[in-house]
Amino acid sequence: MIRKLVLGAAAITVIGGLVAGKDVFSYARTGICSARDRLRSEVPIDFEIERARHEVHRLLPEVRKSMHLIAEEQVEVARLRASIEKREKTLQAQQAAILSLSDDLKNEDVRFVYAGHKYTRNEVQKNLAERFNRFKIAEDTVKREQQVLAAKEKALAANRETLEGMLSQKKNLEVELERLEARLRTIDARKQVNGLAVDDSQLTRVKTLIATIEKRLDVEDAVLAAEGDLQGLIPVEQHQAEETSNITDAIDSYFQEHGDHKIANADAE
């Protein structure tokens, strides 16, 4: 089965090479890149943020390793500095002894006494020469160690700066991830708000019910008003009609009783 797959892939490659020529590899690379980009675009953003946070956390072992190396360098630099200081003090004592012997040899003495022991001039000269040779060797050693110390201190300062940069960048990455996560939450909230489908059918039903109730109350008011006109009200219209009928009768009666008298008076004048 595997052999068939291999042969099939080889055949496809050969056919592709014959058809597309030299561009077959370009097509293959383009297809792979396109598929990779499509796959990345389909990965959820929150998953990518979590993956980035995991990658940031993976920096911790490297940071701790660097801190351990820097601590070792600090200890080594401190020990080397202490050793140089000790050698420098020894050199100072040796220098004082060499100068003392040299001053003694400048005299014309033949014998010298040191710590209760007598030495000839030749012995003192040989001792002085040996001391001076050792002093120069020790001095050269101290100078080399000082150069090594300076290089180690410079490297230690550079490593400290690098570590501080790593810690600062790690902190910045963590802050950036927090900002991206907050932005993602904001976008998700906006999507939820925009995706809400407000059901206003219930609102419409309540409005219709209120309008119906109000209409029924209007009808009840109208009915009560009509019944009030028919029952329990003062018959104003009938009273006005009676007053009109009575006044006309009164006028007719008045002029019938006094009409002849007024007319007679008018004729006499």
Q: Of 59-63, 207-211, 246-250, which gets the smallest average pLDDT? A: 246-250
Percent of the chain having pLDDT more than 70?
68
pLDDT in the model for residue 37: 55
- Which residues make Cβ contacts (< 8 Å) with residue 184, sequence separation at least 6? 45, 46, 49
For 237, phi then psi, to 5°, come to: -60, -40
Instruction: Using DSSP, state whether 112 is helix, strand or coil.
Output: strand
Residue 118 pairs with which residues in a beta bridge? Answer: 113
Spatial contact of 61 and 172, defined as CB atoms under 8 Å apart: no
The number of helix segments (H) and strand segments (E) in the chain equals: 7, 2
Quick: pLDDT tens for 139-166.
999 999 999 999 999 999 999 998 898 8
Q: Which helix (H) or strand (E) holds 113?
A: strand 111-114
pTM of the full predicted structure? 0.49
Answer whether residue 253 shows pLDDT above 90.
Answer: no
Predicted confidence (pLDDT) per residue in 88-120, tens digit: 999 999 999 999 989 988 888 888 888 888 888
